[in-house]
Amino acid sequence: MRRGERVVVTGLGAVTGLGVGWKSLWSGLCNGHSAIRRWQPEGMDDFPVKYAAPVDMAGLAQHYGSAAWWDVPMERRTRFGLAAAFEALADAGLAPAELPRRSGIAMGSGVPERDPADMHLALGPDGPDWRLLHRRADQLNPNSGLLNSNDHLSMSLAQSLGICGPSLNFSTACAGAAHAIGHGMRMIRRGECDLMIVGGADSVLNLPTMIGLHLLGAPSTAERFGDRLCRPFDRDRSGFVAAEGAGMLILEREDHAHRRGAQIYAEIAGFGSGMDAYRISAPHPEGLGARLAMQRALRDAQLDPIDVGHINAHGTSTPLNDPAETLAISSTFAGGEHYRQLTVTANKSMLGHLIAAAGAPECIATVLSVADGIVPPTLNLDNPDPACHLDYVPGTARRQILRAALSNSFGFGGLNAVIAVKAYD
């Protein structure tokens, strides 16, 4: 395999239910704070899904309300993504005018946000008619996904920053952001770009999308545990908890980062993906595609399994994912029973599931675990499922010096992606 330049992380940005900014994210995760709270879709009080991890829009407006882009109509996810990207650039010490010419963008996004009221415009006195909807097009919600294609974030960012390099949007369900980060790394490594803004943004906290997820039985409808509902690897887990937000990373070619004296958090050393080829609505029970993705990420990063000390798990708190991921990790790190030495954490126990964006804040957490030597805990793991037998760092963060770590993201339908992060020295 051809080896090119090392790719390093020089900037971070995040908007999550834990607050605005990556420091809020990292502090919240390390201190075991949960963003999950009681939630209902706008205008409803009896929706079966009772908990979610929404972004505090008032808090976001305090930070970015004066920005030129704030008043432009856009989906929630685009707003989160722009905020996180601008934070990441500032964190990297880069003004837009200082971006290298060969800069690019790679984003992960999911299902467009829809406003069901838009279709009301089709209703006339004689019933619905497409002609009416089209004649009233100027009344469509400009913040709705009906008018915003799902590359809106990547192109809004390109236009805001004057970027004329590649602008890619990945659609691999819950692995979208991980794909964007992995492919962004490869675009630098292959010499296509010197700098990439990578990550993802998503918001499923709208009625049409939540109905669709609920009908698939994916989010938990339980109320028994209150805001401790997201319980990855616990025997009482009952589904994921939906969330929204964004995470962004600035990736640079190592020599480019050095030349401008940038801080370096860690190296994105490898990426791997793999398909379950099993069922459309369930993961492979032994985590086949997940295992292949981890193995490919290790090979791509030229890491031996024993080099890895920590895994930031996909850990959704769904009945099927968690044991399958446990098996995938166990088989990937079976040599010398290394899986017994690994710390495995599930950020979703605090953040909820950011769906297409999930891989981005989780990759940020993995980068910071490697950089700071701290592994955040898995919350609410009161009664471990006997099928989940790894060290999930229950309850409290732990200090751990790490040479390398993996960040797992597994998309609906068995589309899996894994990022390998190495300590930078």
Partner 1 sequence: MTGIARVKLHLPHLHCAMGCDWEDVWGGLGSPTVPGLAPWPDELMSASAHIAREPELSPYGVDRKLVRTMEKQARMALAGAGRLLDAWHPGAGSVAERAETGLFMGLPTIDEPLPGLAVLESWHAYGGRDDWNATLMRETPPFSGLSLLNSSACAHIAATFGLNGPIAAYSPFADAGLSALIDGVHAVAEAECRHAVIGAVSTKLDPLQPLQHAYWGSGGAERQRLPGEASAFLLASADAARNDAVLLGYARGCHSTHDDRGDTVSDLIGQTLEMGGYARTSVGWVLSNQPWQAAHKESLSRALFAFAPLHLPIETRFGYVGPAAATLGVGLVLEGMRRKRRWLTQGTRWEALPMDAPCSLLVMHSPMGQVAVALIGRAGL
Cβ atoms of 172 and 162 within 8 Å: the answer is no
Give yes or no for residue 95 binding partner 1 (CB under 8 A).
no
- Figure out which of the listed residues 7, 49, 163, 371 binds partner 1, where binding follows CB under 8 A: 163
Cα–Cα distance measured from residue 144 to residue 149, given in angstroms and rounded to the nearest whole number: 10
As measured in angstroms, the least distance from the Cβ of 130 to partner 1 is: 5
| Single-letter residue type at 98 | E
Amino acid present at 226: G
140 binds partner 1 (CB under 8 A): yes
Is residue 166 at the binding interface for partner 1, with CB under 8 A as the rule? Answer: yes
Stretch touching partner 1 by CB under 8 A, among 7-15, 50-58, 107-115, 317-325: 107-115
Q: Which is nearer to partner 1, 363 or 423 (CB)?
A: 363
Q: Tell whether residue 172 is a contact of partner 1 (CB under 8 A).
A: yes
374 belongs to the binding site for partner 1 (CB under 8 A): no
Choose which of 31, 62, 65, 116 interacts with partner 1 (CB under 8 A). 116
Using CB under 8 A as the binding rule, whether residue 413 contacts partner 1 is answered as: yes
Binding status of residue 365 toward partner 1 by CB under 8 A: no
> Considering the complex, what minimum distance in angstroms separates the CB of residue 133 from partner 1?
7
Q: How far is the CB of 187 from partner 1 (least distance, A)?
A: 9
| Residue 165 binds to partner 1 (criterion: CB under 8 A) | yes
- Closest by alpha carbon to 213, among 222, 223, 204, 203? 204
Please check whether residue 414 is in contact with residue 289, taking contact to mean a CB–CB distance below 8 angstroms.
Answer: yes
Alpha helix ranges (H) inside 9-48 = 22-30
Q: Which stretch binds partner 1 (CB under 8 A): 9-17, 285-293, 305-313, 326-334?
A: 285-293
Angstrom distance (rounded) from CA 331 to CA 262:
38
72 binds partner 1 (CB under 8 A): no
Q: Which of 209, 200, 172, 218 is nearest to 321 (CA)?
A: 218
Report the candidate in 65, 54, 52 with the shortest Cα–Cα distance to residue 17. 54
As a residue count, the chain comes to 425
Angle at 14 between CA 8 and CA 16, to 5 degrees: 145
Q: Which is nearer to partner 1, 140 or 264 (CB)?
A: 140
**Distance in angstroms (rounded) separating the CA atoms of residues 46 and 43:** 10
User: Catalytic site residue 193?
Assistant: no
Q: Which of 152, 256, 310, 314 is catalytic?
A: 314
Residue closer to partner 1 (CB basis): 157 or 364: 157
Angle between helices 76-91 and 22-30 (to 10 degrees): 90
Binding of partner 1 by 281 (CB under 8 A): yes
- Cβ-based neighbours of 347, under 8 Å, separated by 6 or more: 29, 312, 315, 361, 362, 365, 376
Q: Which of 6, 77, 79, 179 binds partner 1 (CB under 8 A)?
A: 179
Q: What's the min distance (Å) between Cβ of 81 and partner 1?
A: 15
Pairwise CA distance, residues 52 & 136, whole Å: 34
Q: Of the ranges 14-22, 31-39, 160-168, 260-268, which one interacts with partner 1 (CB under 8 A)?
A: 160-168
Which of 230, 338, 353, 388 is the catalytic position? 353
- Residue 353: active-site member: yes
Q: Does residue 388 have an active-site annotation?
A: no
Q: How many CB atoms lie within 10 A of CB 24?
A: 18
- In the complex with partner 1, the residue whose CB is nearer, 30 or 153, is 153
User: CB-based contacts of 134: which residues, under 8 Å, 6+ apart?
Assistant: none
Q: How many residues bind partner 1 (CB under 8 A)?
A: 85
Helix boundaries (H) for 16-75:
22-30, 57-64
Round to whole Å and give the CA distance between 12 and 101. Answer: 21
| Site membership for partner 1, residue 302 (CB under 8 A) | no
- Binding of partner 1 at residue 158 (CB under 8 A)? yes
Among positions 32, 41, 93, 100, the unique one binding partner 1 when judged by CB under 8 A: 41
The catalytic residue positions are 174, 314, 353
